[in-house]
Amino acid sequence: MSYVKIVTKVNVSEDIGLLVIGLGLDYAIRAYTYSNEGADEVAFMDMSAEEHKTEPNIDNIKSIASKAEVPLVSYGGVKRLEEVKKMLYAGSELVYIGDAAKENVEFVKEMSDRFGSDKIGVAITLSDSHVKEYAVKCQKMGAGHIWITDEATKNERLIKDIIDVLDIPVMISTDNTDENVAVELIKNTNASMILYTGNEKIDCMKWKWAMKQAGINVNTFESNIPFSEFKLNSDGLIPCVVQDYKTCEVLMMAYMNEESYQKTLETGKMTYYSRSRQKLWVKGEQSGHYQFVKELLVDCDNDTILAKVSQVGAACHTGNQSCFFTSLAKKEYNNNNPLTVLNEVYNTIVDRKNNPKEGSYTNYLFDKGIDKILKKVGEECTEIVIAAKNPDAEEIKYEISDFLYHCMVLMVERGVTWEDITKELDNRH
């Protein structure tokens, strides 16, 4: 099913210096917040870079992409293939081209042929000469998306005329916080995406439910099984086990009634029923430690819900990450997890860099600098090749482990994380 997407802009000022220094706002945190709170995509639209013909801010794109849990789209500063490549490699799922396309529309074809039409969009303004014909030409050149940068309320009829002649998704723009205005814009233009460009924070889920009630397809949480089919306990409640969606750590357990379940679906924030207070409670409403829904499942008997969430802060009121921190009984066992050991070693290396330890080989490498680290990485590569010629598998396991350790030292030195690596591998996959 095709959904109308809500896109939120994470750089709320065109003056980057003012934003970072004067206001102290963090693009990455803003992106993380919006992606948790219902935005389908986040956007880094650097109007200043486009206007002043400066380079795109790759560091900001990397920072945003590392925190955003939804696709990132970017715009600003594109003059040649190299900028597009850097923006995509930094984590952008889609790059919009502005003046470079207006100066030479063949540039769109060059970028589309190189990276694929799904990665390339064109930003247009309603004041562009023969704007409707220009939009059609961009599509023919291979653009997979169009973004109309003007405030959409200014000329809804022209926007609809442009959208009607295109067969690709079109994103419109608004700085209005009113969800009812957003609903009318979508209905009046048939746009497939709406970019909120204002500085005030909006409630994305509120926008989505307003659109849903207006008959517009949006991506909201909907239960595949009605609450009436759940098997409830004697109090009319169903237990809910809560799990971190990334680490799979069990965080807590609470109870839900039908109202709290529906509220959870509506807001995207875990909402429970308090048996002691006899009322609904939104997890984090006092502490700020919200739980944002990623997935809800029910067990085979329909009598227990499993919620996979993005946890802000600690889940437990004691300040512990999980409520399950008190050991009752334990048998000694090997709990090494091959899926997490690399991250654990990486975190140890980070700790050595931040808190040097006397006699540490890791600190020796950091002290010697990048050339020494690179030399060791190269040496370990050679050792792997030599070991691979030996029929004894133990030797190659040892050398690969040595190589991975030194690679992680290099990663820490250069600020690359395992999440960066796995995300890149996933993109290629």
CATH number at residue 58: 3.20.20.70
Residues 203 and 244 occupy one common structural domain: no
Residue 324 lies in a domain: no
pLDDT at residue 353, as a whole number? 95
Question: What are the residues whose beta carbons fall under 8 Å from the beta carbon of 422, sequence distance 6 or more?
Answer: none
Question: What are the residues whose beta carbons fall under 8 Å from the beta carbon of 287, sequence distance 6 or more?
Answer: 313, 317
Residue 317 lies in a domain: no
Task: Flag whether pLDDT at 411 surpasses 80.
Answer: yes
Where residue 23 falls among pLDDT bands split at 50, 70, 90? very low
Residues 266 and 361 occupy one common structural domain: no
The string of pLDDT tens digits covering residues 182-198 is 999 999 999 999 999 99
Residue 331 lies in a domain: no
Distance of CA 323 to the CA centre of its chain: 27
Task: Flag whether pLDDT at 14 surpasses 50.
Answer: no
Q: Which residues of 146-170 are buried (b: 16+ CB within 10 A; e: fewer)?
A: bbbbbebbebbeebeebbeebebbb
Out of 23-32, 36-45, 151-160, 163-172, least confident range: 23-32
> In terms of pTM, does the model score above 0.85?
no
Give start and end residues of each alpha helix (H) in 190-295. Answer: 204-213, 258-267
In whole angstroms, give the CA distance from residue 196 to residue 233: 43
Structure tokens at 402: 């040595």
Q: CATH number of the domain that 267 lies in? A: 3.10.20.810
Range of 272's domain? 227-311
For CA atoms 209, 214, 219, 221, the dihedral sign is positive
Report CA-CA distances (Å) from 305 to 253, 281, 300, 403, 424: 10, 17, 10, 43, 33
- Using alpha carbons, select from 345, 341, 412 the residue that is nearest to residue 373: 412
Mean pLDDT of the region 44-50: 90
Task: Flag whether pLDDT at 22 surpasses 80.
Answer: no
What is the tally of structural domains in the chain?
3
Tell me which of 152, 183, 213 is where a domain ends: 213
- Using alpha carbons, select from 264, 267, 244 the residue that is nearest to residue 256: 264
φ/ψ of 278, rounded to 5, equals 55, 45
Tell me which of 295, 311, 327 is where a domain ends: 311
Tell me which of 213, 237, 254 is where a domain ends: 213
Report CA-CA distances (Å) from 370 to 347, 367, 410, 411: 19, 9, 8, 11
The string of pLDDT tens digits covering residues 194-216 is 999 998 999 999 999 999 999 99
Task: Flag whether pLDDT at 15 surpasses 70.
Answer: no
Q: Are 304 and 239 in contact (CB under 8 A)?
A: yes
Where residue 24 falls among pLDDT bands split at 50, 70, 90? very low
